[in-house]
Chain A
Amino acid sequence: MSSPSPVKLMSASGQLGYGVLKPAFERGLRHEPHMIGADMGSVDPGPAYLGMGKMATDPGMTRRDLAMLLEGARSLGVPLIIGTAGTAGAAPHLDAVLAIVRDIASERGLSFKLASIRADIPKDRVLRAQRAGELTPLGAFPAASEADIQESPYIVAQMDEAPMVAALEGGADVVIAGRACDTAIYTTVAMMRGHGRGLATHMAKIIECASLCCDPGGRDSMLATLDTEGFTLDCMNPDRHATPTSVAAHALYEQGDPFTVREPSGELDLSKAIYTALDEHRVRVSGASWRDTAPSLKLEAAAPAGFRSVFFAGTSDPRVIARIDQIWTEVRAVVADLTGEDANAFLRARFYGLNGVVNWPAPPDPLPREIGIVVECIAPTREQAQSVITVTKQYFLHHGFPGRLSTAGNLAFPFTPPEVEVGPAWRFSLHHVMPVADAAELQDLFPITYEDL
């Protein structure tokens, strides 16, 4: 078997929907890449988007970005692969992105074969693993309970490239995937062309964030050229340079371990990775290796945590600031007595200027002259949350304490009404690894649908 020829892959965006920068994207097209990819996924914004089935990005900007990528890929006649559609990659996210894609195709007269890949894992499959004690929590997550699974509207898993390879082999021009490993977007075409998994996965891991690996970092399209010995990184914005240090440093970004990347069918080992400058703008990377492991999937789900109401306030009174913890303890006691919500309601105050961001071991000295206050209640119903926050606001405003100077009110409200009903609160219920039977299940759990547009 002859060795595979070099393959060129272009990452148009690491966060599709926030605005793909046109000059670098168009420069990338002139290099005639063999595929164009973009990631849409992120767990950074928290559990609400997965739980609610909503996108974090603006619909208008998402549509603009998708149109630019669809037209670019069709003009070259190369595959376009979008990973983790609609922020979280569950059914409603995927459906929302597919609707936009169909609309763009019809509006612009684009004709192509579209493959969509679902990443929703059936609850009975997850429950089976949970009952067998097979779900391994990641980081600080506790063991998964049956309630964690039953209460979550959507459970997704990160697919690897296997379903995407199947979609392209099935004739797809455009692949819109639900929840996916960000690397799969780029390993798909590399591996179909016979390239090794270690180098392909390392390349994918770097370019999936587009030009974030450069100095200065940015959001411009990134081109990678992969051969059998390594790969070359070339930013499509001439002012952002890939340097050995900037690319090596990118292995740290949002990664718990800079030397190991866990994927569904194995582990990427970066401990022997080498980064060399080709010139002032481009870097050559080699040395990554791959170890097969028993196949597994990373599950993600979010469950409702009640209903949230908040109010915002501030204070400039030095006596209130000096004894804010005691005032808050006393106000809480009054509220619990009045509303009877003590057992159910999660009532919490953040005092910005003192401890709103970080759990400091001691208050600042001297104390600040103003503090900002956010009080939050999460209760089983929206009515309870709103009731608790309204009573809390009023008693906090008028709470009397010895030596009080400002007897007409402790708080300044920046607007009215000061109480804000936020809506459902969410929590990540699953962030667990589930073993799967074999490579076939790793593909079968992600069904593909084709349509001709």
Chain B
Amino acid sequence: MTDNLQKPRPLADVARIIRSKNAGPGLLTIDLFFNTGSDYNAAIAAEGLQAEAVAARYGLSANRLRVIPYPLARAIKITMDRLIIAGSPGDNDVYGAQQHALLLDVDIPEGNTP
């Protein structure tokens, strides 16, 4: 072990924007935007942002969630089935605009420096 081995950073410190919103009342979609190509690549590779890991955080099976890299905007899209249809009895968040917080502490390991 060396002193300069860097710790993983939380997603909240790596991403430029972390937002959630409905994509129609049956789907929730989360967009993560990054400032640099190396942050984007580190996030793409992060174990905590693979479909199975994200689905577990949201209480879903992995087949109800997709992680879609979108390199044109150095962004990652995560689209999932809602547990409760927007605005139906029991829903906490009609617009789906505050469901991003479960991802804020996902560990993003330091990317390989080119």
Contacts and interface: CB of A to CB of B under 8 A. Distances in A.
B41 interface: no
A332 to B, nearest CB: 15
A341 to B, nearest CB: 14
Interface residues of A, number: 42
Contacts of B93: 357
A290 B58 CA distance: 34
A258 B77 contact: yes
Contacts of A306: 89
Contacts of B101: 357-358
Interface string A255-290: 111110000000000000101000000000000000
Interface string B62-97: 001010101011110101011111111110111100
Contacts of A255: 23, 29
A312 interface: no
Contact of A48 (B23, B31, B87): B87
Contacts of B40: none
A280 B95 CA distance: 33
B92 A428 contact: no
A129 interface: no
A348 interface: yes
Nearest to A427: B88
Contacts of A48: 87
Contact of B26 (A46, A356, A431): A431
Given A138-B24, A140-B83, A252 B31 contact: yes
Interface string A39-53: 000011111100000
B107 to A, nearest CB: 16
A335 to B, nearest CB: 17
B53 interface: no
Nearest to A43: B25
B27 A256 contact: yes
Nearest to A252: B31
A141 B26 contact: yes
Given A248-B72, A249-B75, A357-B98, A254 B22 contact: yes
Given A252-B31, A252-B73, A428 B88 contact: yes
B102 interface: yes
A252 B77 contact: yes
B67 to A, nearest CB: 12
A139 interface: yes
Contact of B90 (A245, A249, A348, A360): A348
A48 B86 CA distance: 11
A139 B89 contact: no
Interface of A: 43-48, 137-141, 245, 248-249, 251-259, 273, 275, 305-306, 346, 348, 350, 356-361, 378, 425-428, 431
Given A255-B23, A256-B27, 14 more contacts: A46-B86, A138-B24, A138-B27, A139-B25, A139-B82, A141-B25, A251-B73, A252-B70, A254-B29, A259-B68, A275-B72, A357-B93, A357-B98, A427-B85
20 contacts: A43-B25, A47-B25, A139-B27, A140-B26, A141-B25, A248-B73, A249-B73, A249-B75, A252-B73, A252-B77, A253-B21, A253-B31, A256-B23, A256-B24, A257-B66, A257-B79, A258-B77, A357-B98, A427-B89, A431-B26
